[in-house]
């Protein structure tokens, strides 16, 4: 089973492949969660994105889901991870 540190590294590696706008951005780890059945890691990152409300810099959130068994990519989505959304 992939440990948490490796899950974070693998998720960060997959991020620009799935979301090209994330490439070259300074990522901030927002959260890591192992599913209740220990089958999946869900890893959420964010990065600064200009052009928010009134021209302020906002944060863009990206969530990556990996199989805990081997760290293979399982899915990704924009936004934060909430139970049942991924």
Instruction: Delineate the domains of the chain, giving CATH numbers in brackets.
Output: 4-77 (3.10.450)
> Can you give the pLDDT at residue 57?
72
Q: Where are the alpha helices (DSSP H) in 1-86?
A: 4-18
**CA separation for the pair 38, 76 (Å, rounded):** 18
* 45-76 pLDDT tens trace: 999 877 656 666 778 899 999 999 999 999 99
Can you give the pLDDT at residue 56?
65
Average pLDDT score, the chain = 88
Distance CA 58, CA 14 (A): 23
What pLDDT score does 51 carry? Answer: 66
Please, what sign has the CA dihedral across residues 49, 51, 57, 59? negative
What pLDDT, on the 0 to 100 scale, is given for residue 83? 46
């Amino acid at each position: 089973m992939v440990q948490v540190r490796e899950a974070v590294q693998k998720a960060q590696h997959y991020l620009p492949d799935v979301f090209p706008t994330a490439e070259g951005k300074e990522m901030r780890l927002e959260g890591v969660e192992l599913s209740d059945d220990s089958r999946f890691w869900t890893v959420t990152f964010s990065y600064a994105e200009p052009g928010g409300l009134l021209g302020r810099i906002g944060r863009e959130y990206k969530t990556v889901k990996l199989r805990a068994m081997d760290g293979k990519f399982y899915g990704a989505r924009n936004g934060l991870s909430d139970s049942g959304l991924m």
